[in-house]
Copies of this chain bind each other. A is one copy, B any other.
Amino acid sequence: MDTEFKTVYWHNGKVKMIDQTKLPLEEVWIEFDDYRDVAEAIRTMQVRGAPAIGVTAALGIALAASRFESSDTEKLIGYLTEVGDELAATRPTAVNLFWAINRMNDFIRSNRNMDIENLKNAIIKEADSIQSEDVTRNKALGGFGNELIDDGDCILTHCNAGALACAGYGTALGVIRSAWKSGKKIHVFVDETRPLLQGARLTAWELIHEDIPMTLITDNMAGHMMQMGKVQKVVVGADRIAANGDVVNKIGTYTVATMASIHKIPFYVAAPTSTIDIAIDTGEMIPIEERAAEEVLGYKGNNWARDDTSIANPAFDVTPNHLVSAIVTEKGILREPYNESIRDVCREKTTLA
């Protein structure tokens, strides 16, 4: 797995991705011909991770455009709006999904005067740009994040905010990759991240591929490792960040952040600015996806709890801003007060975009 690894991309007129539900035991690549199958792949988490599902949705719109058969541009625009709505309905929490769909819609509308074949090609090119910009952004983010890591650090991460969560390179793992490539001797503690085990399956797979030293632990061991003095930094990704710096990320992140705070360990969130939802004041206003019971009852149909067991399965939780030591973005490191640092970076984002 080199640094140019792509999780999801446009390939020979199709959308191609690695099937993350099969990792790490099998490396299966799938190609999609129909945007509805792309939507289903997001829903079933064959592709997951906030930036990655944004990129995938953009590619899904490009796929729908490329297969559109009428020569009526307005019909195409109406159709792609519906396609965007369908893709937006796949998962409710990550804002990058909506960000990417909005960007595609804006692009399409502002180029409505183009000849339809040129417009279709431009749409594909735009989705492709979202893909490649994501990787560029993560490398920039990784560079900033590297400044926060010391030689010899043991870094704990939760879930997968790696290349697999993005178009490539990763956010939290982008920081770790950058630190490792810059020659720092680091070690990574990987929370397995129940119920879907993205840490055990995806983060561990990425780190093993790059020979970065790591230790896989169950989620309930993280606090113990901190207590034993074995963790110097925590770096995680984010699915959505509110205007005040509250962070919505994989279930368990709030507990990791609280335990880090108790042990005076810096807790860093690595996320592109597209993860920031300036329209949302605080974390509690962000909808938290509740997923199916079977994920908690076992793993992939191999159940260890009885079918009649009542469960809860919130996919995310909210880490309040006061637990966040810094937010690492592609534009630099944001610190408290987040209301101000986020407002400033988002103003810049609007200006540059």
Interface of chain A residues 68 through 112 with chain B (CB within 8 A): none
A266 at the interface (CB under 8 A from B): no
Cα–Cα, bound, A224→B257 (Å): 12
Cα–Cα, bound, A223→B309 (Å): 21
B305 touches A251 (CB 8 A): no
Cα–Cα, bound, A306→B209 (Å): 11
A25 touches B304 (CB 8 A): yes
Q: How many copies of the shown chain assemble into the complex?
A: 2
Cα–Cα, bound, A197→B308 (Å): 17
Cα–Cα, bound, A318→B219 (Å): 16
A302 touches B305 (CB 8 A): no
- Binary interface encoding of chain A residues 266-303 relative to chain B, with 1 for a CB under 8 A from any of its CBs, else 0: 00000000000000000000000000000011011011
A305 touches B223 (CB 8 A): no
- Binary interface encoding of chain A residues 195-208 relative to chain B, with 1 for a CB under 8 A from any of its CBs, else 0: 10100110011001
A227 touches B309 (CB 8 A): no
Cα–Cα, bound, A202→B310 (Å): 14
What residues of chain B lie closer than 8 Å to A300, measured between beta carbons?
304
What's the minimum C-beta distance from A228 to chain B, rounded to whole angstroms? Answer: 9
A32 at the interface (CB under 8 A from B): no
Q: Which listed residue, B213, B215, B254, B311, touches A312 by the CB 8 Å rule? A: B215
A217 at the interface (CB under 8 A from B): yes
B255 touches A310 (CB 8 A): no
- Binary interface encoding of chain A residues 35-59 relative to chain B, with 1 for a CB under 8 A from any of its CBs, else 0: 0000000000000000000000000
Known contacts: A201-B305, A299-B302, A303-B25. The answer to whether A317 contacts B252 by CB under 8 A is: no
Interface of chain A residues 134 through 163 with chain B (CB within 8 A): none
What residues of chain B lie closer than 8 Å to A24, measured between beta carbons?
304-306
A251 touches B221 (CB 8 A): yes
B220 touches A306 (CB 8 A): no
B224 touches A296 (CB 8 A): no
What residues of chain B lie closer than 8 Å to A223, measured between beta carbons?
252, 254-255, 258, 317
B304 touches A255 (CB 8 A): no
Cα–Cα, bound, A304→B192 (Å): 10
Cα–Cα, bound, A297→B197 (Å): 10
- 22 pairs of residues in contact across A and B, judged by CB atoms under 8 Å: A24-B304, A195-B218, A197-B304, A200-B297, A201-B304, A204-B306, A213-B310, A215-B312, A216-B305, A216-B309, A216-B311, A218-B252, A218-B296, A221-B252, A221-B312, A221-B317, A223-B258, A223-B317, A224-B254, A224-B314, A224-B317, A262-B262
